[in-house]
Amino acid sequence: MFSSEPRNGDDPAFTVRYTSTAIVLHWLIAFVVISQIVLGWLMQEIPKVPVGPRVNAYNLHKSIGLTVLMLMALRLAWRATHAPPPPVAMPAWQVRAAWVSHWLLYACLFVQPLSGYLGSAFSGYPVRYFGLVLPAWAATSPTLKQVFENVHLVTSVVLVAAIALHVAAAFKHHLIDRDGLLYRMRWRRAR
């Protein structure tokens, strides 16, 4: 009943795949974002001291976040110039739900690093990118810092929920529908 083998080996899902670039960006961003979520929650448990592991963890988190922002800009540019494969056969409401959830993920993956960066920019502390101090352009503003921290926190919850929905839908297509959808984002073609 829950076989991961497709029902039909000639299913177009096997021949119509995402581009190699889209696949690499998808899995690279997925790995980095999951790591970033774990780091983001764990670093809050590190004791606050002026210099030390907590500061280092926050600077690493910010650097990785800015990297995610750059990867997402690349991914959006790729998506704008390379159409995704057509959806597999499924009810229209699932096609709409998939479209909404994908664009929610895109939105969160832009808002999350931007809000983190802006919160840092208005904090009065230098923003570092893997040790390189970025130019300061914003005046210290505790109010704006708090606004962007709140956006960052709320977006983190929405992002985790969107990722969970995305993964659940992928497993549903793979294990229940057996429609080959998951193979379209696989590293290698299914045989």
Q: What is the pLDDT of residues 30-53, one digit of tens each?
A: 999 999 999 999 999 999 887 789
The Cα–Cα gap between 89 and 138 comes to: 50
Of 30, 182, 27, give the one whose Cα is nearest residue 105.
30
Give residue 140's Cα distance to chain centre. Answer: 29
What are the phi and psi torsion angles at 51 (to 5°)? -135, 140
The DSSP call for residue 133 is: E
CB 127 within 8 A of CB 117: yes
The Cα–Cα gap between 55 and 43 comes to: 9
Handedness of CA 59, 65, 69, 71 (dihedral sign): positive
pLDDT of res. 7? 42
pLDDT tens string, the chain, 191 residues long: the values are 333 333 444 444 445 889 999 999 999 999 999 999 999 999 999 998 877 899 999 999 999 999 999 999 999 999 999 998 888 888 999 999 999 999 999 999 999 999 999 999 999 999 999 999 999 999 999 999 999 999 999 999 999 999 999 999 999 999 998 888 888 888 775 45
Of 64, 59, 33, give the one whose Cα is nearest residue 46.
59
- In one-letter notation, the amino acid at residue 33 is V
